[in-house]
Amino acid sequence: MNSKPLIVYFSLKGETYHHSRLSYQNYGNTEVLALFIEKITSGDLFALKAKIPYSEKYNEILERAIDEKKRYLSVSFHKYLSSLDQYQDIYLGFPNWFGTFPNIVATFLATYDFTSKTIHPFITHEGGYLGQIEDDLKKYLPNATIKKPFCAYGFEVRKKALAIKRWVLENE
């Protein structure tokens, strides 16, 4: 067993929506938090990337996400990890999509064995905070321990370096 944690995240660069305006960013909001956590913990970083990449256009992302949700679609991702055996602590980051996790995260959770793992969720949102994410994580991961999530507005992530450090240290 590795004492290093794994930091898994799903995050989209490209257009993001805030205060009724679209702007372009080279890093996804959740990705910024993932990179802070990598620095703090020296963990292994694993970016969840869909095999069919998401558009960088907000409206196209929205359309695809709605379709995935409506039809309960799995979203295939590039699989660099054969198992989670070497990890105990897993930081799991994603944006709030429609009050819960994106379907690609659900696919990831259904792919690996999380028995006895400790999950540290970190979430970005645009006003919906955690929605039903904690309940849904418990449903998907009944055999894992789910720690207190870190939650931030997407547009504020760059100001969260200290807050996330505190959260990491408090929940070790």
Ligand X SMILES: Cc1cc2nc3c(=O)[nH]c(=O)nc-3n(C[C@H](O)[C@H](O)[C@H](O)COP(=O)(O)O)c2cc1C
> Site mask, ligand X, residues 113-152, x = CB under 6 A?
-----------xxxxx------------------------
**Would you count residue 98 as binding ligand X (CB under 6 A)?**
yes
> Can you tell me the distance from the alpha carbon of 172 to that of 166, in angstroms, rounded to the nearest whole number?
10
**How far is residue 109's CA from residue 157's CA, in Å, rounded to a whole number?**
24
Could you tell me the CA-to-CA distances from 37 to 44, 134, 159, 164, 166 in Å, in that order? 10, 20, 14, 7, 11
Structure letter (DSSP) for residue 10? -
Least Å distance, CB 143 to ligand X, is 27
Q: Cα separations (Å) of 72 from 12, 59, 110, 164?
A: 20, 20, 13, 32
Residue 64: closest CA among 77, 52, 82: 52
Total residues binding ligand X (CB under 6 A): 21
In angstroms, what is the minimal distance from the CB of 9 to ligand X? 8
With CB under 6 A as the contact rule, the residue among 5, 6, 7, 28 that binds ligand X is: 28
Nearer to ligand X among residue 25 and residue 171 (C-beta): 25
φ/ψ of 85, rounded to 5, equals -50, -35
Q: Which residue is nearest to ligand X (CB)?
A: 154
x/- map, 29-68, ligand X, by CB under 6 A: xxx-----------------------------xx--x---
Residues that bind ligand X (CB under 6 A): 11-12, 16, 28-31, 61-62, 65, 95-99, 124-128, 154
